[in-house]
């Protein structure tokens, strides 16, 4: 998966966060929700459309007049959020103390 670059800056009185090549959050556009650059098309609306049975990236891209790459970038962003932000913390990270009387099992090299 490609790492998306995030760039933040001010546009007059509005804060802007560009996420990758196609996605932006601009406080002056759609109340700061994620949209595709140059549009008012909301990223969650496009992802919900793609989630409907039988829908393809090509169909959704055509429906919203977006390049297929923009849809793929939205999927990558969603995957990153699910992978990194919604998971629970590891209950036993390598450096955390273990309960008394237990030993850490490590894989043989």
CB 1 within 8 A of CB 79: yes
Q: What pTM did the predictor assign?
A: 0.77
Whether the CA torsion 32, 38, 40, 41 is positive or negative: it is negative
* Residue pLDDT, tens place only, 76-100: 999 988 888 887 887 767 766 777 7
Number of domains in the chain: 1
Flag whether 73 is in a domain.
yes
Flag whether 70 is in a domain.
yes
CA distance 43 to 66: 11
Question: Is 52 exposed, middle or buried (CB count within 10 Å of its CB: 0-12, 13-18, 19+)?
Answer: exposed
Flag whether 25 is in a domain.
yes
Flag whether 106 is in a domain.
no
Token pair recorded at residue 89: 């913390």
At residue 46's C-alpha, the angle toward residues 77 and 18, to 5°, is 45
pLDDT of residue 1: 52
CB 20 within 8 A of CB 74: no
Domain hosting 26: range is 6-84
CB 50 within 8 A of CB 42: no
pLDDT for 103 beyond 80: no
CATH code of the domain containing 10: 1.10.10.10
* Residue pLDDT, tens place only, 25-68: 999 999 999 999 999 999 999 999 999 999 999 999 999 999 99
pLDDT of residue 100: 78
CA distance 44 to 59: 16
């Amino acid at each position: 998966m490609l790492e998306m670059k995030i760039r933040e800056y001010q546009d007059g009185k509005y804060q802007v966060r560009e996420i990758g090549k196609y996605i932006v959050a601009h406080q002056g556009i759609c109340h700061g929700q994620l949209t595709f650059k140059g549009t008012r098309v909301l990223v969650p609306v496009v992802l919900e459309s793609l989630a409907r049975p039988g829908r393809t990236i090509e169909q959704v891209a055509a429906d919203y007049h977006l390049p297929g790459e923009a849809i793929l970038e939205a999927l990558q962003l969603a995957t990153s959020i699910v992978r990194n932000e919604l998971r629970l913390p590891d209950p036993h990270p390598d450096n955390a103390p273990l309960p008394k009387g237990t030993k850490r099992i490590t894989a043989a090299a």
